[in-house]
Amino acid sequence: MGRNLKITLAYDGSEFHGWQVQPELPTVQGTLADCLKRVTGEDVLPQGSGRTDAGVHALAQVASVRLESPIPERNLVIALNDILPASVRVNSVEVVPDNFHARHSAKAKTYRYRIYRGDICPPCLARYVYRDPYPMDEEALMRASEQVVGKHDFTSFAASDPDRGARIAEAAGEEKDEAPHFGNVTNVRTIHSSLWARTREELIYTVRGDGFLHHMVRNLVGTFLLVGKGSLKIGDVPTILEARNRSAAGPTAAACGLYLVSVEY
């Protein structure tokens, strides 16, 4: 029967075309699958907790995979990190119950977005932050983020997702221990916390919720930035939510500043 394994990994998404495997393109999922095959000889496709986009980073992405190989979990961590590119690190491998699925079993996720506010962004940070040194009402931006806490329909902050129908069909035939909204066409999500913090050189947005739509975090950030710039008012955010129309919200913020921080089960 083999083992069902939970793999927690971190990666620099700058040179990947996102998580999901794509023909002829470097992806995190494809890279991990290739390395698993080299180590174990098994042709498997690890399933991630979600699909980070091209250029998006992860501090603790979670993948699940079933392997027949008897290699101990700690040895598997060492073997994978020996052959994975330096931009991907496996932090841990652990045996989990057979019904565990990295995506379907997830209960909450936390994302972080970093904005560099200094005049000159150090080269070593350029791929990991969005640079915006221009005038901004940071207090208004922070207050705007509070408007999305709670249970809302986030259609206005969702990009078109052409693969969603296939995932819904997949979920329909599987167990019911899925993420709260997987397999459900609703765009309603619950945001548990949404806040900004200021460091010496950066504005950092952290959002935790039970699920996120395609580009949702980046679209939220893009909208909050419009509030900070004065193009929108704090009170416009609830109106944008009520509109349920993508054109009502702000632009999609750059991928380089976004990180998947953690996944809860």
Residues of the chain with pLDDT under 50: 165-179, 181-183
Instruction: Give the per-residue pLDDT at 162.
Output: 52
Task: Find the catalytic residue in 12, 43, 53, 82.
Answer: 53
| C-alpha–C-alpha distance, residues 255 and 188, integer Å | 23
Residue carrying the six token digits 């980070």: 52
Q: What is the pLDDT of residues 119-165, one digit of tens each?
A: 999 999 999 999 999 999 999 999 999 999 999 999 999 997 655 54
pLDDT of amino acid 168: 46
Residue 263 near residue 96 (C-beta atoms within 8 A): no
pLDDT the model gives residue 184: 54
* Residue 132 annotated to the active site: no
Render pLDDT for 178-200 as a digit per residue (tens, 0 to 9): 345 444 579 999 999 999 999 99
**41/67 Cα distance (integer angstroms):** 10
For 239, the token pair is 């109106």
The pLDDT assigned to 161 comes to 60
With 0-12 / 13-18 / 19 or more C-beta atoms within 10 angstroms meaning exposed / middle / buried, residue 5 is: buried
Phi/psi of residue 85, each to 5°? -65, 155
Is the pTM higher than 0.85? The answer reads: yes
- For residues 141 and 193, the answer to whether their CB atoms sit within 8 Å is no
Look at residue 182 in the predicted model and tell me its pLDDT. Answer: 47
